[in-house]
Amino acid sequence: MALVQKIESGTIPVSTEGQIISPTNYDPSIANGVWAQRDTNGVLIVEFWYGGAGPPPYHEDYVYISSGTIESGSYLDKHYPSKAKIRDKWFEMTN
């Protein structure tokens, strides 16, 4: 996905605190919103909100994780009881 490539390359910078990505950076028909964070180990996490009412408490996401794994005890692990790996670095999650 072009947006993930732009974030990975630094064209769209993200911080360790995470941030909502402006819809001017992607086609808003692909998601209700996009949030991205690069953790302190350099792992990039990009959440594409596509179902529910936006941010938590409930929504459905496609999530890109550059490491390809969900760290045990991480925010994603704790807040998404339903997780399925659908491609190498992509997950579908609901809470």
- pLDDT per residue over 29-80, tens digit each? 888 899 999 988 899 999 998 876 555 556 788 999 999 999 898 888 888 8
Q: What's the sign of the alpha-carbon dihedral 56, 4, 8, 10?
A: negative
CB atoms under 10 Å from CB of 31, counted, come to: 20
pTM of this structure: 0.88
Q: Report pLDDT for 35.
A: 95
Q: Band of the pLDDT at 15, cuts 50, 70, 90? A: very high
First to last CA, the chain: 24
Q: Report pLDDT for 37.
A: 95
Q: Report pLDDT for 92.
A: 93
79: left (phi over 0), alpha (psi -120 to 50) or beta: alpha
Q: Is 72 helix (H, G, I), strand (E, B) or coil?
A: coil
Please state the domain extents for the chain: 32-87
Q: Report pLDDT for 58.
A: 64
